[in-house]
A and B are shown apart, each in its own frame.
Chain A
Amino acid sequence: MKVKLILHGILRDYLPREAKGKTTLDLPDGATIEAVVRQLKIKQNVSAAVTGVEVENNHILQEGEELHLFRFIAGG
């Protein structure tokens, strides 16, 4: 299945620079957010939102969903 991935902040650096944090992932059915984190070898703790709703890392992704990954939102 295909899932649109948007990485925010420092997590953008886990994709090539020209991607500007955006790509489409080809994932097996039943893949979780945790699986995406492992696949990209992300070291930081991540927060996740699927189509704008914050979810846990064990959320099972569905075809066509838009997954945002970001570091914890605070500060300023």
Chain B
Amino acid sequence: MPYGYNGKILHVNLTTGEFEVEEPSESFYRKYLGGSALNMYYLLKELPSNADPLGPDNVLALSVGVTTGAPVSGQSRMTSTAKSPLTGCIGDAQCGGFFPAEMKFAGFDAFIIKGKASKPVYLWVNDGQYELRDAGHLWGKITGEVEAALEEELGDKNIEVAQVGPAGEAGVRFSSIINMSNRANGRTGMGAVMGSKNLKAVVVRGKEGKKKFRMADKQAVINLARHGADIFPESDIAGLGKYGTAETTGAQHSVGGLPTYNFNSGVFEEWEKIDGATMYDTVLKGAAEGKQDLRGRDTCYSCTVRCKRVVEITEGPYKVDPHYGGPEYETTSTFGNYCGVSDLAAVSYANQLCNQYGMDTISCGATIAWAMECFENGKITAADTGGIELKFGNADAMVKMVEMIAGGEGFGKVLGMGSAAAAEEIGRGTEEYLITSHRQEAPAHMPQMKRSLGLIYAVNPFGADHESSEHDGVYEGRRVSYADRMDLLGLTKVQPRRSLGPEKVRFARLTQYFYSVMDSVNVCQFVFGPAWQLYGPQELQDLITHVTGWDMTIDELLAVGQRRVNMMRAFNAREGVDRAQDKLPEKMFKRALKGGKSDGIKVDREEFEAGLDEYYRQNDWDVETGVPTRHKLEELELGWVADQLNL
């Protein structure tokens, strides 16, 4: 019996209703660790090239990692991977909550899901037993209703449910997989893939499995957990607990890095109305009685941080049910400053709609912001929007758009394709205002201000993503604070601010590998990371060793991360995606930011292209195409992938 992982992968064929249990070797688990890397193995093996992302040939892989379920902060994460209907490239998204740990306890490390059921079903996995059950009565229901119905049907309030909402059923291209009605495999449209298969939910329970969970050195894991709890109050992430990720809103504004009016500015004068401190003081559940720390915050399995928001609004036009959680920084940004909206109730309500209907708050809000800029410039009119004045600052219009996207009504149906596809549909020069890379909308950190992050936005195989590498500031002057951890990755040379020379590219690349392995082991990137997080690379190495008994090293971790990145690049190459698509939005090169401390700043095209060349060279990829070489793939034990690409 292995330590930490089950040694079992459940293959599900929705077309035939058949199951197969695979028991890979220990060396397989050590090579991929789980999560994103493990998922990529199966997608490359079993997903034919040029498959329709919403067709039965797409493969949806859901997996946890070798340490998921251990009693330590930040390990309860699950990765979903498939071909993305939003980008046409690989799609990948992680979630937290209690579902991942329960999935591990239920007896499997991954579900590899193929085909399409003839009618709506849900997958029920209970302490090693599995079956497909009818979900016709759940189809069309929002997430909270589905959870309640399943708890009653299965007679257990402790089941964990990962589901698609009505948006995923309808094929909204940025729809998410939602668990707990407020945790999301948010990005790249994994909800639409699941919905296209008529798979309404995956339900897991591991009551007996939890008792059997084994670790190689349980006491060492407990010691690691206790150490984290001890240092947390004075750590750099203490604020994430009290104020959530939106504690950073004011800081971003102060340096001109808060994306506003669809990335036309880096400052939003009304930021204080929608930041984490204001949320804490006003709308977190219990705030009126001063009990928001107890009632207004939530957590994931075994995590001491408690960074999740729980919002309750009982008055006014935008009432919010605490069952649906509360907005993070990305959400307050995309529905807030991206749209010029400073109404926290409206932003919180938009967040609730996304959690009820199952949509990515980043792409949803950013797509609306793009549409607002088009409207402001006369490219879209009230005739398109059904009379809605889709202008910056119009909170009611923003909320109405979210409702219309969720319901597939009118202009909402167009926006539900994502902004890149909507621009293609509408034409009229609307593509000028896009903020997408690989057709995915940019999150709320600005390439104009963070140059290596911008590079990663462009080259990341699943589109613009702010959690795929470390942010520039840790290697610019502030580095001295995190020197010990950064040294473990071989990053020892402080860089000038807003630079993108070879050493900064190396920083982007190495931290990309580290973030990639975190998405494969499936750990939270606030708890584990290379710099400001609660634990550093040493502790991640130690956690894997203590749980599995493997003599893990940081070099081996980076190799797994590099393997995952290369597998994803290879997948995209197979789909005809290469350097030509590794771009930042044109407006970031052409249009300088307006106002505040970042006034006049834009991305330098020459510097960016040189950075791209350097990134490919350092990765040992073809500089002309950005495709991994056979040499690199074989070095990473991926010769079979090179064979697939005919390299």
Known A9-B251, A47-B478; further 7 A-B contacts with Cβ < 8 A: A6-B254, A10-B242, A11-B239, A43-B234, A49-B597, A52-B597, A72-B471
Chain B residue nearest to A69 in the complex (CB)? B251
The reply to whether the CB of B15 lies closer than 8 angstroms to some CB of chain A is no
- State whether B471 touches A47 (Cβ < 8 A): no
Q: How far is the CA of A73 from the CA of B277 in the complex (A)?
A: 15
- State whether A70 touches B251 (Cβ < 8 A): yes
Interface size class of A (residues with CB under 8 A): 20 to 34
| Interchain pairs with CB closer than 8 A, number | 115
- The contact string, 1 if C-beta is below 8 Å from chain A, for chain B 442-468, is 011100000000000000000000110
Ranked nearest first, the 3 interchain pairs of A and B with the lowest CB-CB distance are A10-B239, A52-B597, A9-B247
- State whether A72 touches B474 (Cβ < 8 A): yes
Q: A10-B247, A53-B597, A70-B248 are in contact. Are A76 and B234 (CB under 8 A)?
A: no
Chain B residue nearest to A45 in the complex (CB)? B481
Q: How far is the CA of A43 from the CA of B230 in the complex (A)?
A: 14
Q: How far is the CA of A43 from the CA of B233 in the complex (A)?
A: 9
Main secondary structure of the interface of B (DSSP, over half): helix
- State whether A70 touches B474 (Cβ < 8 A): no
- State whether B443 touches A76 (Cβ < 8 A): yes
- State whether A71 touches B239 (Cβ < 8 A): yes
11 contacts between A and B (CB under 8 A): A8-B250, A45-B236, A70-B248, A70-B250, A72-B236, A72-B532, A73-B257, A73-B445, A74-B466, A76-B444, A76-B445
Partner of A76, one of B251, B329, B597: B329
- State whether B532 touches A49 (Cβ < 8 A): no
A51 partner residues in chain B, CB cutoff 8 A: 597
- The contact string, 1 if C-beta is below 8 Å from chain A, for chain B 619-644, is 00000000000000000000000000
**Count of interface residues, chain B, beta-carbon cutoff 8 Å:** 46
- Report A's interface with B, CB cutoff 8 A: 6, 8-13, 20-21, 43-45, 47, 49, 51-56, 68, 70-76
- State whether A72 touches B329 (Cβ < 8 A): no
- State whether A9 touches B478 (Cβ < 8 A): no
Partner of B478, one of A13, A52, A68, A72: A72
Q: How far is the CA of A45 from the CA of B485 in the complex (A)?
A: 14
A49 partner residues in chain B, CB cutoff 8 A: 251, 254-255, 597
- The contact string, 1 if C-beta is below 8 Å from chain A, for chain B 241-268, is 0110101101110111100000000000
* Residues 465-485 (chain B) with a chain A CB within 8 angstroms: 466-467, 470-471, 473-474, 476-478, 481-482
Q: How far is the CA of A17 from the CA of B328 in the complex (A)?
A: 23
Q: A10-B238, A11-B239 are in contact. Are A52 and B532 (CB under 8 A)?
A: no
Chain A min CB distance to B347 (Å)? 14
Q: How far is the CA of A56 from the CA of B476 in the complex (A)?
A: 9
Q: How far is the CA of A75 from the CA of B276 in the complex (A)?
A: 13
Chain A residue nearest to B598 in the complex (CB)? A52
Chain A residue nearest to B241 in the complex (CB)? A10
Q: A44-B236, A74-B470 are in contact. Are A20 and B443 (CB under 8 A)?
A: no
B481 partner residues in chain A, CB cutoff 8 A: 45, 72
A8 partner residues in chain B, CB cutoff 8 A: 247-248, 250-251, 254
- State whether B445 touches A71 (Cβ < 8 A): no
B467 partner residues in chain A, CB cutoff 8 A: 75-76
The reply to whether the CB of B127 lies closer than 8 angstroms to some CB of chain A is no
The reply to whether the CB of B525 lies closer than 8 angstroms to some CB of chain A is yes
Partner of A75, one of B234, B257, B525: B525
Chain A min CB distance to B247 (Å)? 3
